[in-house]
Amino acid sequence: MAIRNIRLDGDDVLRKECKPIEKMTGRLQMLIDDMYETMYEANGVGLAAPQVGILKRLVVIDIGEGDPLTLINPVIVQADGEQEGEEGCLSLPGLQGTVVRPNHVICKALDENMEEITVEGEGLLARAICHELDHLDGILYKDKTLDGLYSVEQPKDN
């Protein structure tokens, strides 16, 4: 496994639409493993493939409440309710903004075995799914903020 460079706002790759994944390969499994390692190293709860420069429909999510999620070719099939909250992004370090998202989503995707799964999320998980899937279509959370972005103090390494 390796930590990959996270692409930052302004990088063209973050604004491109990603292509579907056709089959699991050794390279794809390595990408998934690298994405988890990169996400954890950066203290994130989600990471989409374009954030590491790969235009594939792949996201990894771990909100710390159970098993991490690998979602290949994910699609939200149902969304309802509403929540307003603060979001940040590993591609926009040091910034946050208020975004309205669905409070409940149902997402269909493929897992690492290329088998169809259905993931149901509420609250933070619903927010993370929506945020990461937006990346696959070249959308950043800053495009959806209510009042724009503002700076937040970065934690200092000890």
Helix (H, G, I), strand (E, B), or coil: what is residue 73? strand
More confident residue, 106 or 148: 106
> In this model, does residue 37 exceed pLDDT 70?
yes
CB 128 within 8 A of CB 102: no
Compute the distance between CA of residue 139 and CA of residue 94 in angstroms, rounded to an integer. 19
Q: Which residue has the higher pLDDT, 158 or 23?
A: 23
DSSP annotation of 6 reads: P
Please identify every residue annotated as catalytic: 132
Is the pTM here over 0.85, yes or no?
Answer: yes
Q: Which CATH class is domain 12-151?
A: alpha beta
Element (H, E) at 129: helix 124-135
Confidence tier at 9 by pLDDT (50, 70, 90): very high
pLDDT above 90 (res 156):
no
Least confident of 89-93, 114-118, 152-156: 152-156
Q: Specify the pLDDT at position 154.
A: 56
When mean pLDDT is compared across 71-75, 82-86, 115-119, 145-149, the lowest value belongs to 145-149
Examine the pLDDT at 155 and tell me if it is beyond 60.
no
As a whole-number percent, the residues of the chain with pLDDT over 70 amount to 96
Q: How many residues does the chain have?
A: 158
In this prediction, residue 128 carries a pLDDT of 98
